[in-house]
Each structure stands twice: as C-alpha cells, then as structure tokens.
Amino acid sequence: MSTTTSWKTADPVHLEVRDLHLAFGANKVLRGVDLDIPSGQSVCVIGPSGSGKSTLLRTVNRLIEPDSGEVLLDGENTLTWNPDQLRRRVGMVFQQFNLFPHKTVLQNITLALRKLKGLSADEANEVALGQLDIVGLRDKAGRRPGNLSGGQQQRVAIARALAMSPRAMLFDEVTSALDPELVKGILALLADLAAQGMTMVVVTHEMGFARRVAGKVAFMDGGVVVEAGPPEQIFDSPTSPRLQQFLSQVL
Amino acid sequence: MDTLTQIWDTFFDWPSMREALPEMLTVGLPNTLILALASAILGTLIGLLLAVAGISQTRWLRWPARVYTDVFRGLPVVVTILLIGVGLAPLALELWGTNPYPLGILALGLVAGAYIGEIFRSGIQSVDRGQLEATRALGFSYFTAMRLVVIPQGIRRVLPALVNQFIALVKDSSLVYFLGLLASQRELFRIGQDYAANTGNESALLLAGLFYLVLTVPLTHLVNFIDNRLRSGRPEAVQEADPELSEVAPR
C-alpha cells in the first residue's frame, strides 16, 4: 500500500529492558529478560507461544507490574514513574485492536487527545483526521468500528496510538487476528513507521517481516531472550539449539 | 346468569370507575410517578456505587457491597419498607415531619439499588478486558478508563434489564401504603382500594390496574426495542453496510 503522507516521528527514545522478572504465583513468565532497543530502531521479538513475548510488552508499559528489573527510557528508570505518564510516551497496539465499539472512528482517536492532552475539539479532530489520512481511512471517520474490516480496525488502532505522539511503540501480534490478505497492508504500515525512525518493539510471527524490517531480532523462549542480533544472523546462522529448532518449525 | 352479571358488575361497574377516575389522575398517578421515579434515581445511584465497589480489587469495598446486596435482595420488599419506614420514623419526624414519602422512597431505592448493582456489575464485567487495557495503554488512569470507556459500554448492554427493574419499581411503589398515607398522599393502588372498599366492588381497583398497565406496558416494549436494537445494531449500521467489508468484525 502506498501512503501519500507519512508520520513525523517525534524524537524517538532509547528503550532498554534489564533483567526483568515476573511470576504469576509459581508460574515464572519472565525470568530475567534483557533487551536493548536503540533509539529509532525496530526490534522484532519472535518465539513460540507462551514464551513471554506479549507479557514482556505489557510489562514494559506496566499494564502488568514486573516483580523486579528495570525498564529504561533514555537511561531513566521508568518503574519509579507514574505508569500513566510512561504510557503516554510509549504507545501500544494489540492483537485484538480493542477499539471502543461505542464511539466513532474519529472519537476513538480524539478521546485521549482531548481528555489527556487537553486539545480542543477542533484541534483533536485535526490531529485525528491527519492520522486517518496516513492510514488511508479518512473517509471512515464517522463510522463505528463494528462497520470496518479487521484490517481497517487495526489501522485505526495504530492511528489512535500514534496520534498521542509516542516516542516508542509496542506492537503485540498486531496481524495475528487478521485474514491473510489483510496482513500485508498492516505490515507495510509498520515498515513505514520503522523507516520513519520510530523506536519500536514488534512481537510477531511474520518471519519475513522480521527479516526485512527489523534492525534486530530477539528470540524469546521460556521467559528469557535466548538469542538476539541482526536478522541475517538470527535467521541464517542461529547458534542456540532452541532457536534452530524453532526456526525449523516455522520456516 | 345472575352470577355472571354480578361478576361483570364487580369488575366493570362504569359509575364506580368514573367516580374514582379524577382522583386517580390528579392524586394517584402523580404520586405513583413520584415514588417510582425518585426511587429509580436513588436505586440507580446506589447500584452504580455497588457495581464499582463490587468489581474493585480492594476487599474492603467488595465485601460490604456483597453483604449489602445479599441483605436487600434477600428481604421481602414489604419487610424493608416497614423496617425503614416505621423504624426510622422517629428520626424522620425530627428532620421533615410525618410525611412517609422520603422513607418510602429510601426503602424502595435501597432495595432497587441491590438489584441494579448486580445488573450493572454483570454488564461492566461482560466488557472485554482489552477495552480497559487499551484505554490504560493510552495513558488513562483506572477510574477514568472505567468512567469513559468500560462503564458506558457495560450499562448499554444491560439497559433492558435496567428497564425491567424500573417496571418493578412502578409496581412496588404501591407497597408504601403500609406506611399509612394521608388522602393527598395516596398513590394509584391505595385510591383504587379505597374506592373499592366504599363501593363494594372491584371496579376502581381494576381501573388502578389499568393505570399500572399504561405505565408498565410501554416500558416493556421499550425493553424489547432496546434489546432488538442492541442485537441488530443501529439502523445506521445496516444501511451503510460497507461494500469493502471482507470479513466479519469480531464484535
């Protein structure tokens, strides 16, 4: 897909995860995750289901509070911040879109602009329509999410997150709930955003995308990053047996 | 044949009805409406508080809400009305005098609140968790996210059940007659009963019944209307069906 206009990425941030631990009771989901996402780079996180990928994203923006470890934004430990402040800087898009079904597409985007950023109705509409332009859905502004296809809904969700001018973005399997023919368009948007220099963490099963777009690929299994490096290295010369086995199953 | 005529006259004695009609209209109807409306408002407020407390993470909010609901849902309405209306009467006497309406409304509202609280709670809990997550991911606090996104969706879903509760209130308002009403305080049932006692036939009571039906039947149809609309979506959604819609939206 081609976009006429593109995002201006507001100065991206260096995101760093250090020794992150999280357990639900006896179930240790994260067991010391280390991940470095240099400013403006996109890192794809791959791995089998249940390896802790989605939980890692949720812990980074503290939708789940980690038990221990650090999440650093430009070197500052965010675990001491108010989580709401953190989330305004680090946007997130979900597998299930999670648009607000009782609001129009436009209202989905303007809600946070107005209530959190304090923009006037006109200002918020302008920002929102601009974002919808970029994802190619300006003409759907007055619709309700239920009237849109899954691909369109996910584009609105991306527009909603980006309207807040985040300095880093988290994408949690954003194409997994989509029909195959709709996946491409969303991935193209993500590639676009990566090319614009957004710091982003993309949890994905799309290996082709990871190879093409990621600056770095991290393989997670059993709650730790087993191996991380440039895509060529991860896909063409994996060193750990677990990654080799995983790749032999998915490629 | 005589017996049949007698029964007919017991129910359909037009002069008795005509005699009762003016007071029904000018005294009974307004009083029933006052009782039902005021207790509906009170019950809705109490219900909202109970629902929010009931889904709270804090045991000290959840637990009292549970006890409240069990008590007021478990008692016969008459018992609650008498306990509150008679039991608190000395206190009421000091505050506003002998008028039994405030305590009657309080009792009806307390009972309705227990039911409405459960209705709201089930509605709010039926909203997908992703809605709260997505709202919080934008940077909203828990309470703002609940207020702006989750609770409005939850309430929308339970509107039919809520209207059912209002119907019950219209009928239960007749029970305040247990508290003793002055002539000007009588509601539909009491006026019907008084005329029935004086004339020796039930026609006035039947007329009161007709008044209740005039109030409740439209509400019943309102329930069906809302229910249908919630099921089939807004008319707008049907007319504007999107030709590009290539998949069934998940919600």
What are the residue ranges spanned by the domains of chain A?
Answer: 15-100+168-250
pLDDT at position B228: 79
Quote the pTM value. Answer: 0.82
Q: Does B250 touch chain A (CB under 8 A)?
A: yes
Q: How far, in Å, CA of B173 to CA of B189, rounded?
A: 9
**pLDDT for A139-198, tens place per residue?**
999 999 999 999 999 999 999 999 999 999 999 999 999 998 899 999 999 999 999 999
- Chosen for mutation from A89, A98, A178, A182 (greatest number of chain B CBs closer than 10 Å) is A98
User: Per-residue pLDDT averaged across A34-39, rounded?
Assistant: 95
Confidence of residue A9 (pLDDT cuts 50, 70, 90): low
CA distance between the termini of chain B: 62
Residue A205 in this model has a pLDDT that exceeds 90? yes
Structure tokens at A29: 């989901």
Long-range contacts of B225-232, Cβ-Cβ distance < 8 Å, separation of 24 or more? B226/B159, B226/B160, B226/B163, B227/B160, B230/B156, B230/B157, B230/B159, B230/B160
Residue B235 in this model has a pLDDT that exceeds 70? no
Q: A245 vs chain B: nearest CA distance in angstroms?
A: 33
User: Per-residue pLDDT averaged across A96-103, rounded?
Assistant: 94
Q: How far, in Å, CA of A37 to CA of A44, rounded?
A: 10
Which residues have CB under 8 Å from B204's CB, separation 6+? Answer: B16, B17, B19, B20, B191, B192, B193, B194, B195, B196
pLDDT at position A5: 56
Residue A8 in this model has a pLDDT that exceeds 80? no
**Measured between alpha carbons, how far is residue A4 from residues A162, A174, A186, B189, B190 in Å?**
17, 23, 16, 70, 73
More confident residue, A237 or B251: A237
Q: How far, in Å, CA of A192 to CA of A215, rounded?
A: 14
Percentage with pLDDT > 70 across chain B: 91
Q: What is the largest CA-CA distance in chain A?
A: 56
User: Per-residue pLDDT averaged across B144-156, rounded?
Assistant: 93
User: In the CATH hierarchy, which fold is given to the domain comprising B17-232?
Assistant: MetI-like fold (1.10.3720)
Residues from chain A that touch B57, judged by Cβ atoms under 8 A, are none
Residue B109 in this model has a pLDDT that exceeds 50? yes
Confidence of residue A117 (pLDDT cuts 50, 70, 90): very high
User: Per-residue pLDDT averaged across B33-40, rounded?
Assistant: 96
Residue A246 in this model has a pLDDT that exceeds 80? yes
Residue B157 in this model has a pLDDT that exceeds 60? yes
In this predicted structure, which of A7-21, B14-28, B122-136, B199-213 has the lowest mean pLDDT? A7-21
CB contact under 8 A, A149 and B246: yes
The DSSP bridge pattern shows strands A199-203 and A42-46 to be parallel
pLDDT at position B31: 95
Residue B231 in this model has a pLDDT that exceeds 80? no
Q: A92 vs chain B: nearest CA distance in angstroms?
A: 6
The count of residues in chain B is 251
pLDDT at position B4: 87
Residues from chain A that touch B245, judged by Cβ atoms under 8 A, are 147-149
Residues from chain A that touch B232, judged by Cβ atoms under 8 A, are none
CB contact under 8 A, A92 and B250: no
Residues from chain A that touch B251, judged by Cβ atoms under 8 A, are 101, 145-146
Question: Which positions in chain A have a beta carbon within 8 angstroms of at least one beta carbon in chain B?
Answer: 61, 63, 84-85, 87-88, 91-92, 94, 96-102, 111-112, 115-116, 143-150, 152-153, 157, 160-161, 164, 177, 179, 181-182
Top-level class of domain A15-100+168-250: alpha beta
Residue B155 in this model has a pLDDT that exceeds 70? yes
